[in-house]
Amino acid sequence: MSGQDVVFYGSSPWDETWLTEHYLAEALSRDGRVLFVDPAFSVLTVLKRRRGVRAVRGVVELLAAPTRTEGEVTVVRTSSLPKKENALVRRASAPWRRAQVARAVKAAGLDVGVVVTAAAFDDSTWIPRGAVKVAIVKDWLEAGAHLTGLSAQVIRERQRRTWEIADVVCAISTRLVARLAEEGVTARLLRHGSLAGRFGSTAVQAVPEPLERFPRPLIGAVGRVDSRWDHAALGEVADRNPGGSVLLIGPVSQRIDRAELDALLRRPNVHLLPPVPNTEVPAWVEALDCSTVPYVDDPWQQYASPLKIWDYLRAGTPIAATGCPALGEFPEGLVHFSLPSRDLPKLVEAALAEPARTRAERRTYAAANTWDDRAAQLREIVAETVR
C-alpha cells in the first residue's frame, strides 16, 4: 500500500476523543497521504449547540471551509440533512456526502487506492473505481446497542452490508475474528498499538499538578465513565485503600446509572476528575501507582480491546484489569487480569505489590507494538489483496 493515498472514514470526529481510526490514520500518514472523513454533521446540531450569531457563524464556517490539515492528515467534515439517522434522510443525503468527499479528494490532489472505514460502507461512502475497501471492526456493536442509541437490528443491517462491500475485514481482537467467522466473514487480526515516541527504563515526566494533592497510592481509571465500569468493585478498592486515592479520570456518559456513580463518589477517597487531553495522558498515567480497567463481564466486553491499556503499557504503570478477555492475552506479568470484575480489589493489591522492574518490561513491550507497526501490517494486508 506504500505510495497509495488513503481515504479513512471515522466513527468519531478528528478533534474529539481519539479511537482506533485516529491513531491508525495518523500512522498511515507517515508513509502516504491520508484524508480523514469525520462523521457527517447536521446543521441543526450546530444550531442547537450554539446560539444567535455564533450559531450562524459556526454553520457558515463549516460549510465554507470543511477541510483542514491536522499534522500530516487532511480532515474533511461532511454535512448532512437534519435528522441524519433517519433512513430516508440518510438516503437523501448520500449523493451530497459523496460529492463533498470527492471535492476534498480533488482539492488535495489525492490518488486514492485504498478506502478504509471504522464506521460503515453505505450509499454515502465515496469509493473510487479500483480502490481496495477495508472495514475495521472494533466492537460487536449489536451487544452494545444500548450504548449507541441505535437498535440492534439497524446495527446488524449496517454491519452486514459493510462486510459484504469490503474487500478486506480487519478485527481488533481474537474474539471478534472468531465471532465474524461464525457469520461467514473471514477477518484478519489487527490489534491496537501504542504511540511511538518516548520509551525508557524509568519515568521522567513530572507529576501533573492536579495529582499532587492526592495521597498515595494513586489508583486510577482513565476513560469514559459509563455502565461498562463496575462501580461496586471500585468502591471496594477504595475501602481497602482508605489512605490512598481512587481517581476516575474522564467524561461521564449521559446514559450512566447516576445512583451507582453517586454511591461510589460519596467515599471520601474517590475523586472524579475531568478528561485529560491526549497529549497529557502519558504523564497522568505514569504518575499512578496502579492503573485499572474496571470493566464488567458482559457481551459487549467479550469482543472489545480497550485502547487505554496501551496508554498504561506505554507508561509502564502496574495494571489491574477485568471483564474483557483480550486483556488476558498479553504476555504473563504485564497485566493482572481476571474476567469477573469482583476480583478487581485483589488484582489492585497484587499490582501495588509488584517489583519496580515490571514498569520497564511494559515499556519494552509497548515499544515493540506501536501504531506504526499496525499501519505497516495493514499495508501488507492490502498488498496481499491486490496481488
DSSP alpha helix (H) spans, 167-324: 174-182, 231-240, 258-265, 281-287, 299-302, 308-315
Supply the pLDDT for residue 206. Answer: 83
User: Would you write out the chain's pLDDT as a tens digit for each of its 387 residues?
Assistant: 445 899 999 999 998 888 999 999 999 999 999 999 999 887 666 555 556 666 556 556 666 678 999 999 999 999 888 766 677 877 888 999 999 999 999 999 999 999 999 999 999 999 999 999 999 999 887 776 555 666 778 888 889 999 999 999 999 999 999 999 999 999 999 999 998 764 444 445 789 999 999 999 999 999 999 999 999 999 999 999 999 999 999 999 988 989 999 999 999 999 999 998 877 888 999 999 999 999 999 888 899 999 999 999 999 999 999 999 999 999 999 999 999 999 999 999 999 999 988 999 999 999 999 999 999 999 999 999 987
pTM (2 d.p.): 0.88
Side chain identity, residue 39: P
Sequence-separated (6 or more) residues with CB below 8 Å from residue 222? 249, 250, 276, 281, 284, 285, 291, 308, 311
What is the residue whose three cell numbers read 487480569?
Answer: 337
Task: Spell out the SS3 assignment of 74-116.
Answer: EEEEEEECCCCCCHHHHHHHHHHHHHHHHHHHHHHCCCEEEEE
